[in-house]
């Protein structure tokens, strides 16, 4: 089996696992249910992690150049390693972002706006969940999901009012990642807009060049027609001069 074929087979199962993860982690981070419900959510999260671990192992084993694939898919590696590190438990959101990163390479420019908007919303949401998960038990001001969402919005837009700031190490790591993500999304928007403007200018220039070429061809055709008429008239005059009787009708 080729790597591309496996990716096509695994794409929808990974999306389903990501959806289950997002729901389970949302409930866990926002309400933090105790007892059996909390354990069930934790088990669901680990099951989704196992799906991504399986996908990573299969991709690495069937990749034609394994070391090259490993170096070029460090985000996937982080997705399967970070959940095992208990101090970095909140960074398991990287697992969810791997599906988003995998589909990004196939996004056409016509869908970039939708992709960027969806990416921004998803990043804000998962970052809010992650920072709430680690800050709620600390001495910081981020204690509710609403405060976490507000912090995520101000951070990804690089505004940073400073009214809500993470105080834990994990929270600051999440903040740094969200800042870089905001800068990257802004770069994508700028590059897409610039590409659209260049394409529009090129289309207008091509249209003008096409119109100019058509106009020149029309002028050439008219000139050729005029030359034909002048040549016929000159030939008729020569014939009239050589046979005056034909001109007088005798």
Number of neighbours of residue 79 by Cβ within 10 angstroms: 25
Q: Is the dihedral of CA 169, 174, 178, 184 positive or negative?
A: positive
- Of residues 247 and 127, more confidence is placed in 127
CB 226 within 8 A of CB 220: no
pLDDT(3) > 70: yes
Q: What band does 146 get if pLDDT is binned at 50, 70 and 90?
A: very high
Q: What band does 236 get if pLDDT is binned at 50, 70 and 90?
A: confident
- What residue ranges do the domains of the chain occupy? 1-99, 107-250
pLDDT tens-digit series, residues 28-56: 888 888 888 888 988 888 888 888 888 88
CATH of 107-250, one of 2.40.10.10, 1.10.510.10, 1.10.287.70, 1.10.1840.10: 1.10.287.70
3-class SS of residue 2: coil
Q: What band does 148 get if pLDDT is binned at 50, 70 and 90?
A: very high
What is the model's pLDDT at position 92? Answer: 53
Q: C-alpha distances in angstroms, 54 versus 75, 80, 91, 139?
A: 15, 9, 19, 38
pLDDT tens-digit series, residues 181-232: 888 777 777 777 777 677 777 777 766 666 677 778 778 888 888 887 887 7
Q: C-alpha distances in angstroms, 209 versus 106, 130, 206, 213?
A: 33, 55, 5, 6
Quick one: DSSP state of residue 137? Answer: T
pLDDT(98) > 70: no
What is the model's pLDDT at position 147? Answer: 92
What is the model's pLDDT at position 87? Answer: 41
What is the model's pLDDT at position 95? Answer: 55
CA distance linking residue 55 with residue 41, whole number of Å: 22
What is the model's pLDDT at position 231? Answer: 79
What is the model's pLDDT at position 121? Answer: 84
Closest CA to 127 of 156, 164, 165: 156
């Amino acid at each position: 089996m080729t790597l591309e074929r496996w990716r096509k087979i695994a794409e929808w199962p990974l999306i389903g696992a990501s959806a289950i993860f997002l729901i389970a982690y949302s409930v866990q981070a926002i309400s933090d249910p105790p007892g059996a419900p909390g354990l069930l959510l934790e088990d669901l999260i680990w099951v989704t992690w196992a799906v991504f671990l399986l996908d990573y192992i299969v991709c690495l084993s069937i990749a034609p150049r394994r070391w090259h694939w490993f170096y070029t898919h460090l985000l996937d590696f982080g997705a399967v390693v970070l959940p095992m590190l208990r101090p970095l438990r909140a960074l398991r959101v990287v697992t969810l972002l791997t599906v988003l990163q995998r589909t990004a390479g196939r996004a056409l420019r016509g869908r970039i706006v939708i992709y960027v908007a969806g990416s921004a919303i998803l990043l804000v949401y998962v970052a809010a969940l992650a920072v709430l998960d680690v800050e709620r038990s600390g001495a910081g001001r981020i204690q509710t999901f609403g405060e976490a969402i507000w912090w995520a919005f101000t951070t990804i837009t690089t505004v940073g009012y400073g009214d809500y700031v993470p105080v834990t190490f994990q929270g600051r790591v999440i903040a740094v990642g969200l800042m870089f993500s905001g800068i990257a999304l802004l770069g994508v928007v700028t590059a897409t807009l610039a590409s659209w403007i260049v394409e529009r200018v090129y289309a207008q220039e091509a249209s003008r060049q096409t119109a100019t070429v058509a106009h020149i061809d029309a002028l050439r055709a008219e000139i050729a027609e005029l030359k034909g008429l002048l040549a016929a008239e000159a030939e008729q005059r020569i014939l009239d001069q050589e046979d005056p009787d034909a001109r007088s009708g005798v």
